[in-house]
Amino acid sequence: MALDSHQQKSRMQTWLLLGLVLAVGVVVANFAISNPDVAKNGMDAFMGLPSWAFPTIAGVAGLVVYLLGLRVATNWPEAVGALLVSGAVVFAEILFGWNNFAVGGVAAIPYVLPIVVFLGMLLFAVTRSR
């Protein structure tokens, strides 16, 4: 199946947008991991909500964007929704304690969990769109 110019341009824009959002997410996650007290106190003061509310709101918003993205032809809403959900997982890990997610003493689980969530949601979206 050959792609026309419009489809190639659309896919390129999707991957550029995903790359930009991922780069911003890495910078924010790096700041939160290197300064956990500032990140936690900043999230405590966010609009007067409890600290667990921000990751919950981001996760629910990401899930809504992801589910709405499954209904449209373009792929970027699924990617943005999956990225929001995996970002909410990272923030929840930071809030509840990074080491609490190291099940069985495996220190790699907190690092791998958001990646697995992101890739799992993205793979489901790709297989569903075929």
**Share above pLDDT 70 across residues of the chain, in percent, rounded to a whole number:** 78
Q: Residue 82 sits in which domain range? A: 9-129
Give the model's pLDDT for residue 43.
Answer: 55
Give the model's pLDDT for residue 101.
Answer: 76
How far apart are alpha carbons 31 and 35 in whole angstroms? Answer: 6
The total number of structural domains in the chain stands at: 1
Within a domain: 100: yes
How far apart are alpha carbons 22 and 29 in whole angstroms? Answer: 10
pLDDT score of 16 more than 60: yes
Angle between helices 5-34 and 36-44 (to 10 degrees): 100
Within a domain: 116: yes
Within a domain: 3: no
Q: CA gyration radius for the chain?
A: 16
Give the model's pLDDT for residue 44.
Answer: 55
How far apart are alpha carbons 119 and 7 in whole angstroms? Answer: 23
Within a domain: 30: yes
Give the model's pLDDT for residue 129.
Answer: 73
Within a domain: 15: yes
Give the model's pLDDT for residue 39.
Answer: 61
Within a domain: 1: no
Mean pLDDT of the chain: 78
Could you tell me the pLDDT band of residue 38, with boundaries at 50, 70 and 90?
low
Comparing CA positions, the residue from 83, 72, 80, 70 lying closest to residue 128 is 70
Higher pLDDT: 98 or 115? It is 115
Contact between residue 89 and residue 56 where contact means Cβ atoms under 8 Å apart: no
Within a domain: 2: no
Digit-coded pLDDT (tens) for 48-97: 677 788 888 889 999 999 998 888 877 778 888 998 999 899 888 888 87
